[in-house]
């Protein structure tokens, strides 16, 4: 038995805190989690939150309508900085999505039991973040109604294949594959829980809806056998996917010739940054959710601590990349690379660079302290810093590299306009709207997997039983 039993503290330093609160039974887990959906009803707090999120979502639709009516010129982009908030936000959102897959897939492959209570809404977060991210590559096109040209299909133009040498074309496949695989993975995980909701639902309509989506799950041994196989296969499939998707996103920059973009360390650096931003976002969401719905028994301090640790590790990887960026700029002996570094630190956007260092490198250093790692207020504050910092990181990479490149005659500045901001904030409303609907309609924590954490489940030896 490689994993430590959750009910035996002090077996190893990392399992000092339990992954599930004491005294839970199969019934109490079901009771507690399904009640959020079935019996709690639509509360006032939920309604207020959903209402606010929905209004911000409407702002997004408004700014999209204006964008389609007027054109991309309503944004602050110009001839030198052709990519602005549109791509910054795209990379930011897609990065946020990556922690969900990391939690559900990679931690599953690594047999990390603590993933169990956070994987469901981390996966939901992935889906909603990818939905937000997916808007930008389409909307930032001057003529978004021709976006389907990016797909290979037998068209009347006789050009069945798009340019497969462009990383933007790879983005199409990366993001669409990522979205669909994540959806399938999430849905497969939901099936046993939907069956639980079906069985516990009182109303005819509720029973029908959950019954339809649970696809007649009966939980037989044969069902479970195949379920576990497909779940593991999907996890094995998602793991290279999550690494390659953000690698491909980083290729949008690394493949170019722009100083500050053309860097071979971008793929792992972007992936680390994605996991960093993603875990920060999971923390930002998990802390209020567990507080509002009283889920401290399931999302324990151990979870927060582990997430804090991963945030610290990936944060330091990102920090290493910043240092390397400065180093290779100097070491390249290339005047453009050296100027790029100089412009990052001392150029017109120096304040953003300083803010970036504060948010992304200094703020997570507090996570070395166990006291801070286990304090949800501290964690929440730090994860907010990271979310802002990771947005600034993409801003610095994209804008500060573009606004001063090879020719001084092509230098200029860039700033987001009103419509840049409304679309960006609007996508947050879209994200939160989906999240509120998810919390109201689906179990936020996987009940079936939580039950496997109980002693005696999944073949684990009972407490006090003789170990083989």
Please, are residues 125 and 435 in contact by the beta-carbon 8 Å criterion? yes
CB of 210 to other proteins, least distance (A): 10
CB of 161 to other proteins, least distance (A): 13
CB of 148 to other proteins, least distance (A): 11
Euclidean distance between CA atoms 187 and 194, whole angstroms: 10
Nearer to other proteins, 180 or 208 (CB): 208
Nearer to other proteins, 65 or 155 (CB): 155
- CA angle 441/444/450 to nearest 5° reads 135
Tokens read off for 281 = 């976002």
Residues that bind other proteins (CB under 8 A): 153-159, 198, 207-208, 211, 216
Closest CA to 352 of 299, 417, 397, 406: 397
Nearer to other proteins, 45 or 154 (CB): 154
What phi and psi, each to the nearest 5 degrees, are found at residue 306?
A: -65, -40
Nearer to other proteins, 156 or 264 (CB): 156
Nearer to other proteins, 158 or 464 (CB): 158
Burial state string for 78-105 with b = 16 or more CB within 10 A and e = fewer than 16? eebbebbbbbbbbbbbbbbbbbbbbbbb
Euclidean distance between CA atoms 339 and 341, whole angstroms: 5
CB of 216 to other proteins, least distance (A): 8
CB of 209 to other proteins, least distance (A): 11
- For residue 6, the 8-state DSSP code is T
Total count of residues recorded for the chain:
468
Nearer to other proteins, 167 or 211 (CB): 211
Instruction: Count other Cβ atoms within 10 Å, centred on residue 465.
Output: 10
Tokens read off for 412 = 């200029």
Classified as helix, coil or strand, 153 is coil
* Helical ranges in 265-403 per DSSP H: 266-292, 301-331, 335-346, 350-357, 370-373, 376-395, 401-402
CB of 196 to other proteins, least distance (A): 14
Nearer to other proteins, 79 or 163 (CB): 163
Euclidean distance between CA atoms 296 and 281, whole angstroms: 18
Euclidean distance between CA atoms 403 and 255, whole angstroms: 18
CB of 158 to other proteins, least distance (A): 3
Nearer to other proteins, 41 or 216 (CB): 216
What phi and psi, each to the nearest 5 degrees, are found at residue 165?
A: -95, -5
Closest CA to 312 of 357, 250, 367, 362: 367
CB of 147 to other proteins, least distance (A): 16
Nearer to other proteins, 113 or 198 (CB): 198
CB of 70 to other proteins, least distance (A): 23
Euclidean distance between CA atoms 179 and 173, whole angstroms: 10
Tokens read off for 224 = 């479970």
Nearer to other proteins, 159 or 232 (CB): 159
CB of 79 to other proteins, least distance (A): 22
Furthest C-alpha separation in the chain: 77
């Amino acid at each position: 038995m490689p994993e430590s039993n959750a009910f035996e503290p002090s077996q190893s330093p990392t399992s000092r805190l339990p992954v599930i609160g004491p005294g839970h039974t199969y019934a109490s887990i079901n009771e507690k989690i399904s009640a959020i959906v079935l019996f709690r009803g639509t509360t006032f707090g939920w309604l207020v939150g959903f209402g606010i999120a929905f209004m911000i979502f409407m702002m997004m639709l408004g700014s999209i309508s204006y964008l389609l009516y007027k054109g991309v010129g309503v944004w602050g982009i110009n001839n030198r900085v052709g990519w602005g908030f549109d791509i910054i936000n795209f990379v930011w959102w897609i990065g946020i999505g990556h922690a969900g897959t990391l939690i559900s897939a990679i931690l599953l492959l690594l047999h990390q039991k603590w993933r169990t209570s956070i994987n469901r809404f981390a996966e939901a977060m992935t889906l909603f973040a990818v939905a937000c991210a997916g808007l930008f590559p389409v909307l930032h096109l001057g003529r978004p109604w021709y976006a389907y040209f990016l797909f290979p299909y037998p068209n009347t133009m006789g050009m069945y294949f798009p340019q497969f040498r462009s990383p933007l074309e790879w983005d199409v496949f990366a993001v669409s594959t990522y979205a669909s695989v994540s959806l399938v993975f999430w849905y497969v995980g939901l099936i046993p829980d939907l069956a639980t909701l079906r069985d516990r639902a009182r109303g005819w309509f509720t029973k029908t809806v959950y019954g339809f989506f649970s696809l007649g799950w009966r939980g037989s041994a044969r069902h479970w056998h195949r379920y576990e196989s497909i779940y593991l296969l999907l996890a094995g499939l998602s793991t290279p996917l999550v690494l390659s998707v953000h690698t491909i996103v980083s290729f949008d920059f690394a493949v170019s010739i722009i100083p500050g973009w053309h860097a071979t360390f971008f793929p792992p650096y972007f992936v680390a940054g994605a996991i960093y931003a993603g875990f920060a976002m999971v923390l930002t969401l998990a802390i209020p959710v567990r507080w509002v719905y009283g889920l401290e028994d399931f999302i324990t301090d151990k979870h927060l601590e582990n997430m804090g640790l991963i945030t610290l590790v990936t944060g330091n990887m990102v920090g290493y990349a910043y240092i390397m960026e400065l180093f290779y700029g100097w070491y390249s002996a290339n005047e453009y690379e050296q100027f790029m570094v100089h412009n990052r630190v001392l150029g017109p956007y120096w304040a953003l660079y300083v803010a970036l260092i504060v948010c992304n490198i200094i703020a997570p250093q507090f996570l070395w302290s166990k006291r801070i790692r286990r304090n949800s207020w501290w964690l929440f504050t730090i994860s907010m810093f990271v979310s802002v910092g990771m947005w600034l990181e993409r801003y610095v990479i994209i804008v500060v590299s573009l606004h001063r490149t090879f020719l001084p005659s092509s230098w200029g500045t860039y700033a987001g306009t009103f419509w840049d901001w409304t679309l960006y904030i609007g996508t947050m409303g879209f994200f939160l709207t989906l999240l509120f609907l998810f919390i109201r309609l689906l179990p936020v924590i996987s009940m079936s997997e939580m039950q496997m954490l109980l002693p005696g489940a999944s073949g684990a030896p009972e407490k006090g039983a003789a170990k083989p």
